[in-house]
Amino acid sequence: MNSLARRLRDYDKTDMVMGRVYSNVFDCGFIDMEQSWIQLLLIFSNKNDSVSKEIKEAIENNYITYREKQRLIGVLSKICNSIEYTKIKLTLTLDDLQTKKENLRKLLQEHINMLKKDLDMRLQDAAIDVHRLDSTARKTSEHLRKRIKKTLPLSLFKSIDFKQASDCFTKHKISIKIDKEPYAEGIESIPYINEGDIQADLILKDIQRIILSNLFSTGCSQHTVIEDFNMLIDHIKSSADLAGKLVLVMSKEIFQQYNRMLFDNPNLRELMRKNDDGSMNITTESGTRKVYFLPFVNQPFSLVVKDNYFTKLIIREYDNNKLVNVTSENIKSDSDKFKLTLNYELNIVFEGNADLKIAHSQRVTSE
């Protein structure tokens, strides 16, 4: 059992049963192996079998690690549940075979119960590592501070799906599931890569949605209709009143037309110079205009706004200059998870209304 668990040391629990690609070789896990395991175990299955002294000591003295115990429970449960349905290739009478099956099932269940009892005791005794949680809060705060220093909202936008937000000011809680070990004293501590970055990304996605919600509800003094990308570029270049303005293009169809034009017109790259924040400059005799594509929003319009339209993004700071307040609950469960809750308050202020709303073709894809 001990060597079996160590073979699975870095496997996820589901992979251990279902199989996975490991070092470029597909390991079938126990889907194709369970019958062989059952055949082998039945040979040595006797009525008086019980958990050995050595296995008890290995579990009690932590020779088998916390994660390995979890995986062993999964392996043994899988074998135990498959005994009745496995075609046995042993030369035994029906009664003898049934007796051996019952003996094996009982023995496996004893091991499973002992492992579960040990895990429950360790979970009960484990205490949340407040210093590690505090460190995560600081890292999350630092990631957020670095990102919101950049031009808003352009540097915040990645490929996201728009969801309507209720208003521009919110107090929000995000619950994410994280393995207990990194945040619990008394259980093996396994470091996380880029800890704090995941939490910051979750908050940034909410910021993006709130910005989009406000954009959709903003008022406009002028409206016009422009069918395609070529007409849009001609309008931007020829309109002197668009100098120093930012054009937010939210149509996926217009963006696809732009990509196709790059192949037909190589000079387009010279006309539209890309900035670090993802926007593009169009320079004309009457000044520079800035264009930013938001194709993932997939709405048939563009908005023309002032370059300083997005004036404020406030994430309310909590005590000790933390942007987030990280709390946790030590919940006992089969999945060995607990909730990491991030609290923040957000406020976004726009400078006036949009100058122009440009309606595009309704031939917008919905995927």
Q: Is the pLDDT of residue 344 over 70?
A: yes
Q: Is the peptide bond before 153 cis (omega within 30 degrees of 0)?
A: yes
Residues sharing a CB contact under 8 Å with residue 209, sequence separation 6 or more, in sequence order: 160, 162, 163, 164, 165
Ordered by where they begin, the domains of the chain are 2-125 (no CATH), 128-212+314-349 (3.30.2400), 223-310+353-359 (no CATH)
- C-alpha dihedral (216, 221, 225, 231), degrees to nearest 10: -100
19 band by pLDDT with thresholds 50, 70 and 90: very low
Strand 169-179, strand 337-350: pairing: antiparallel
The predicted model scores a pTM of 0.55
160-171 pLDDT tens trace: 444 444 444 556
- Enumerate the β-bridge partners of residue 287: 284
What is the SS3 assignment for 239? coil
37 band by pLDDT with thresholds 50, 70 and 90: low
262-317 pLDDT tens trace: 888 878 888 888 887 778 898 888 888 899 988 888 889 999 998 878 777 777 76
The confidence score (pLDDT) of residue 254 equals 92
The confidence score (pLDDT) of residue 171 equals 60
244-263 pLDDT tens trace: 889 999 898 999 999 888 88
95-144 pLDDT tens trace: 877 888 888 888 889 889 988 888 888 777 777 677 777 777 777 888 87
